Amino acid sequence: MSFPLLTVTAALPAVGAIATAAVPAAKRTVAKWSALGFSVATFVLAVIVLVRFEPGGERYQLTESHAWIKDFGVRYELGVDGIGVSLVALTALLIPFIIAAGWHDADPLEDKNPNRRWRPTQGFFALILAVEAMVVVSFEATDVFLFYIFFEAMLIPMYFLIGGFGDQAHEHGDDEAAKQRSYAAVKFLLYNLVGGLVMLAAVIGLYAASADQLGHGTFSLQEILQARAAGKFDLASSTERWLFLGFFFAFAVKAPLWPLHTWLPNAMGESTAPVAVLITAVVDKVGTFAMLRYCLQLFPEASKWATPVILVLAVISIIYGALLAVGQRDIKRLIAYASISHFGFIIMGIFAMTTQGQSGAALYMVNHGISTAALLLVAGFLISRRGSRLIADFGGVQKVAPVLAGTFLIGGLATLSLPGLAPFVSEFLVLVGTFSRYPALGIIATVGIVLAALYVLVLYQRTMTGPVKAGVEGMKDLKVREIAVVAPLIALLLFLGVYPKPLTDIVNPAVGQTLSDVHKTDPKPALEATK
Amino acid sequence: MSGTAVHSLWTMAAPAADKIPAPKIEYTQLSPVLIVFGAAVVGILVEAFLPRKSRYLGQIAVSVIGLAAAFAAVVALAARGYGTTKAHVAAMGAVAVDGPALFLQGTILLVGLVAVFTFAERRLDPKAHGRKVDSFAAQGSAVPGGDAEKAAVKAGFTTTEVFPLLLFAVGGMLIFPAASDLLTLFVALEVFSLPLYLLCALARRRRFMSQEAAMKYFLLGAFSSAFLLFGIALLYGYAGTVSYSGIAAVVDGTAKMTPALAATTGNDALLLIGTAMVAMGLLFKVGAVPFHMWTPDVYQGAPTPVTGFMAAATKVAAFGALLRLLYVVLPGMRWDWRPVMWGVAILTMLVGAIVAVTQTDVKRLLAYSSIAHAGFILAGVIATTPDGVSSVLFYLAAYSFVTLGAFAVVTLVRDAGGEATHLSHWAGLGRRSPLVAAVFAVFLLAFAGIPLTSGFAGKFAVFKAAAQGGAMPLVIVGVLSSAIAAFFYIRVIVLMFFSEPKPDGPTVAVPSAWTSTAIGIGVAVTLALGVMPQYFLDLADKAGVFVR
């Protein structure tokens, strides 16, 4: 048996979570360094996974397979394809930055009640690592049930992160903010839990269907795919559609797709910036990833059946998210609506069912993770300096804190997909991929890009330019720790914007295989078709 | 005419004496039950002869040893194959010794053992006149608030009778799911119900509420017993026998026809009404809608350790009996009972989950949640497949330890008036005592069926069985009511962790090793069955065959 690299990559942050939680109450700094250390070590492992992964090799690599719950037909099966491996790497890359950016977010306030034995710092960092561990397992799992377990279980630490830790600078310990935060956490949990439970019904249905057709219930993705290739697993189309809807509903809540998106602005607005990054850049990616892996591969016919509706919803997400972003007065909610718009692009790319569209979607997941992290983390630094999230409270920041303003601008430009920065490549691919099959939708979606330019540039103009507003005068520029967080992300955005080939090389074979599962080929170029 | 010839005109020779069947009792196979009843009797003797001071330790020793020995006996029987190959009906067709019986008996005994730990807790209540006291009334017979009670408290009396009562209840519960004829079923029901009525009335604080709970439980319990008994009479009228296998044979039409039988089997009304009434009696004990009305009041009024025991063990025993009745006696008429049970299961899940949303008392909340869970278990019962049996067995084992643990935590949160069960008092508990709140959160998450807890594995098992048994709509209703249920479990977690603690809020009492052990076992089982359920699923699978 070879070394279980994937298991170790997922287990290390889990161990880190326990170790961090166990640090004594007084040793806050030890807990922080422990969390950072474990997350960096996980990143190193993820890089090793990335290096060991051979693009163009077997479909699922570094596989592990062990019996787990025989009665449910569940196996502990891990394996990564090109998309999975890049998302594992993205997760492992972002977590150290999230931890470093949130270095002081969970320092206890001046404690009014010395009796409470609440240890926020340890808890905060342990929960982040716990989320990382669960997200990594969901990207690695090739067993539907194993995926489902961690897909659901990650809600719990996420819920505590949103509800337990707000912007301290913003709150001043007042009750109204705490109520808002608790509301946001509950909304997040209920939306996702309901999605998950609907999926549970579909998971049980999948078991019943496989038990019916194969003689034994199974959740193994590979076994199901092989059985279908051999003609032994053929769902009735009504069954397949119901199961598809059950799965898709859960992923659409998580992703989030209009009209199931309303939890995201609350959750991102009320949580601290690093937690907001964790939600939108890491956790939500599980939703879009799962559409690509589970919806399309398990239920190809139903996916094609649902494509028109999903594409329309995705385009609505793009336009609606962008329009609402333009109208926001709160920086974090603005970024949240921008994310909804971007998730619309990702979903559109997935369901356009073209190579370019899906490669674009896979790249988009990675690029959106990096660009949103950069923008949101800088926004978080900005907010914590002023103690307000409202755009109207800022103005002329670039005069007092030029580095902060500059990094904010680059993050913003990445968000609006400026050519030369990484998101441009993926957005372009998604649009081209969509256009080749659904020209009308492709054209409407481009409006989203225009709106993106509007909300980003207006945001920059209102907060950074103009006369220096009261409350902004003494604002300090970025500290070394903060620059260390932002600089590598910006470097990466530039690198992948100019030279995306390493990433596309990893992602493309996986996309090709997925499309062949769905029996879709790219439409012929127009010229050739008219011949 | 010779003497014998004359004699034979009005007499006939009796069969030879050796042909009268002597009752054959398989003492070894019944040993778990016998040990528990033996221990209960010893408990009574302890109560009668030991000086008051040493009764407490004496009773604990007797109960723990008795329950542990009985559990060892169950394990030994299972190891010798009585659960599988050697399964048969012992004691003249009265008690089944088979897989489901042994599995449920083992579960009930462990639940009983943990319940003894919570009964034995003496550190939570403040000392009365310098003596440690437990959750039970100083003297059950004293009028609440009267002089006799004050005197009893002052004298430091404690009701150590609760331990033998618990043992009697456990003994009855051991027979209940194993009963293989209707009369044994009824006797077992009474044997475990009567001690429970008594235990409910024995709370040290809020005694009126406790007595009211006991009264309600007793009256409604008596009604349901009457229904059960009437149903038994009707079934006897139909089949001419009370034995499960006998009735099953008549229902299936494989019984040898006699003129009497031919006369009754034409009349399905006897069978249908009889079945309905017996099922009613069992559904009452299970707490299924519309027979659930007693649950919240009784759960709230009873001393919390008793509530925990009752909620866990009664459910195990009653579902065991229901399974055996439906799977052994009445599989032949499943087309008749399944639609009704569908209705009951759907109602139970929805009513339990929806009404729980409005509750403000943690004990009532757990009561309604137990109703919702009864609905989930019914979904597994309805499957009528081998998977149905094993999934229900697994669910019962998983659920009972979560319940015990949750109620044990409830005993810890206290203010001046005793346990602070109103939910508003739980606000901010997570800030003040993170560990207790975290443990309670684990139990709530298990109730809600979040993955990696036993609740999820159990829920998945029963829903899977139901889906394969062709009850997909039930699964969907189950999933929807899980979503509703999740809302109020989460609400409690929100309250504990995200609300500011009140300045005059309750304190968390530091328990002795007894309660800590009970809670520890609850958490350990909850997580173990969540992460590694395979061993126990195998066990439940192997135990999934009834003997008839």
Q: Does B342 touch chain A (CB under 8 A)?
A: no
pTM for the predicted model, two decimal places: 0.86
CB contact under 8 Å between A71 and B461, yes or no, is yes
Grade residue B177 by pLDDT with cuts at 50, 70 and 90: very high
In whole angstroms, give the CA distance from residue A121 to residue A21.
Answer: 9
Q: Taking CB atoms and an 8 Å limit, are B463 and A153 in contact across chains?
A: no
Q: Per the CB < 8 Å rule, is B498 touching A181?
A: yes
Question: Kind of pairing, strands B507-508 and B413-415?
Answer: antiparallel
Query: What does the alpha-carbon distance between residue A471 and residue B53 come to, in Å, rounded to a whole number?
Result: 73
Under the banding of pLDDT at 50, 70 and 90, the label for residue B8 is: low
Query: B277 pLDDT band (50/70/90 cuts)?
Result: very high
B345 touches chain A (CB under 8 A): no
Q: How would you label A447-485 residue by residue, b for 16+ Cβ within 10 Å and e otherwise?
A: ebbebbbebbeebbebbbeeebbeebeebebbeeebeeb
Nearest CA in chain B to A146: B451
Please state whether beta strands B413-415 and B95-97 pair in parallel, antiparallel, or not at all (unpaired): unpaired
Evaluate whether A294 touches A225 at the Cβ level (below 8 Å). Answer: no
Q: Compute the nearest-CA separation of A517 from chain B (Å).
A: 28
- Per-residue pLDDT at A180: 81
Domain ranges of chain B: 25-542
Is A71 within 8 Å of B456 when comparing Cβ atoms? no
| pLDDT in the model for residue A114 | 43
Answer yes or no: is pLDDT of A117 > 50. no
Task: Identify the CA nearest to B355 among candidates B340, B344, B366, B342.
Answer: B366
pLDDT confidence of residue B538: 85
Strands A74-80 and B95-97: unpaired
Contact A200 B479 (CB under 8 A): yes
CB atoms within 10 A of CB B364: 21
Closest CA to B467 of A76, A214, A72: A72
Q: Indicate if the pLDDT at residue B276 is higher than 50.
A: yes
- Mean pLDDT across B96-123: 91
CB-closest option in A67, A116, A153 to B451: A153
Q: For a pLDDT cut of 90, what percent of chain A falls above it?
A: 10
Residue A110, pLDDT > 60, answer no
Distance from CA of A145 to the nearest CA of B (A): 10
Alpha carbon distance, N-terminus to C-terminus of chain B: 53
Residue A116 has pLDDT above 70, yes or no: no
CB-CB under 8 Å, B433 with A211: no
User: Nearest residue of A to residue B432 by CA position?
Assistant: A116
CB of A399 within 8 A of CB of A477?
Answer: no
Reading the block at residue A199, the tokens are 């999926």
**Testing the interface with A: which of B482, B498, B502 to mutate, by most A Cβ within 10 A?**
B498
Say whether pLDDT at B367 is over 90: yes
- How confident is the model over B391-411, as a mean pLDDT? 92
Contact A17, A126 (CB under 8 A): yes
What is the least distance, in Å, from the CA of B293 to any CA of chain A? 28
Nearest to B196 by CA among B225, B221, B174: B221
Give the DSSP H or E segment for B148: helix B147-154
Averaged pLDDT, B123-127: 78
Per-residue pLDDT at A529: 45
> Which of B225-239, B282-296, B335-349, B417-431 has the least mean pLDDT?
B417-431
List Cα–Cα distances, B544 to B174, B175, B384, B394, in angstroms. 17, 18, 12, 10
For residue A507, the 8-state DSSP code is H
> Which of A156, A194, A208 lies closest to B445 in CB terms?
A156
Chain A residues touching residue B499 (CB < 8 angstroms): 182
Domain ranges, ordered by start, for chain A: 302-523
Average pLDDT estimate for A407-423: 87
Residue B8 CA to residue B4 CA, distance in Å, equals: 6
| Mean pLDDT over each residue of chain B, to the nearest integer | 87
Q: Which residue in A147, A156, A190, A271 has the most chain B C-beta atoms within 10 A of its own C-beta, making it the best mutation to test that interface?
A: A156
Determine, for residues B460 and A204 on separate chains, whether the beta-carbon distance falls below 8 Å: yes
Report the chain A residue with the minimal C-alpha distance to residue B441. A156
Residue type, B276: A
What is the distance in angstroms between the Cα of B99 and the nearest Cα belonging to chain A? 18
The DSSP result for B207-222, as a single string, is HHHHHHHHHHHHHHHH
Work out the percent of chain B whose per-residue pLDDT is above 70: 96
Pick from A67, A115, A178: CB nearest B498: A178
The rounded distance, in Å, linking the Cα atoms of B257 and B255 is 6
Mean pLDDT of B154-159: 82
The string of pLDDT tens digits covering residues B43-98 is 999 999 988 888 889 999 999 999 999 999 999 999 888 877 888 888 788 888 88
What are the residues of chain A with a beta carbon less than 8 Å away from any beta carbon of chain B?
A: 67-72, 113, 115-119, 148-150, 152-153, 155-156, 159-160, 163-164, 175, 178, 181-182, 185-186, 189-190, 193-194, 197-198, 200-201, 204-205, 207-208, 211, 217
Which residue from A117, A181, A208 is facing B468, i.e. has the nearest CB? A208
Cβ pair A181:B537 closer than 8 A:
no
What pLDDT is attached to residue A1? Answer: 52
Q: Given B390, B451, B537, which is nearest A149 (Cβ)?
A: B451
* Widest pairwise Cα distance in chain B: 105
Check if B131 contacts A (Cβ < 8 Å): no
Q: Do B460 and A200 touch (CB under 8 A)?
A: yes
Residue B62 to chain A, least CA–CA distance (Å): 39
**Which residues are registered as beta bridge partners of B243?**
B181
Q: What's the rounded Cα separation, in Å, for the pair B546 and B454? A: 25
Between B253 and B349, the higher pLDDT residue? B349
User: What is the predicted pLDDT for the residue at B427?
Assistant: 83
CA B450 to chain centre: 24
Tokens (6 digits) for A177: 């903010």
pLDDT value at A525 more than 70:
no
**Mean pLDDT for all residues in chain A:** 84
User: What pLDDT does residue B320 have?
Assistant: 93
Q: If you average pLDDT over residues A86-97, what whole number do you get?
A: 90
Computed from CA positions of residues A384, A385, A388, A389, in that sequence, does the dihedral angle turn out positive or negative? negative
Q: Is the per-residue pLDDT at A89 higher than 80?
A: yes
According to the model, what pLDDT value does residue B4 have? 59
Interface membership of B430 toward A (CB under 8 Å):
yes
What number is the average pLDDT over the span B328-357? 88
pLDDT (average), residues A399-424: 87
Alpha carbons A287 and A289: distance in angstroms, whole number: 5
Cβ–Cβ below 8 Å for A201 and B468: no
- Closest CA relative to residue B231, chosen from B329, B316, B357, B298: B329
- What is the band of A479 on the pLDDT scale with cuts at 50, 70, 90? confident
| Omega before B290 within 30 of 0, i.e. cis | yes
* Cβ contact, residue pair B463, A204, below 8 Å: yes
pLDDT tens by residue, A271-285: 888 889 999 888 999
Contacts of B450 in chain A (CB under 8 A): 152-153, 155-156
Report how far residue A336's alpha carbon sits from residue A261's, in angstroms, rounded to the nearest whole number. 10
Taking only the tens place, the pLDDT of each residue in A309-359 is 999 999 999 999 999 988 888 888 899 999 999 999 999 988 888 888 888
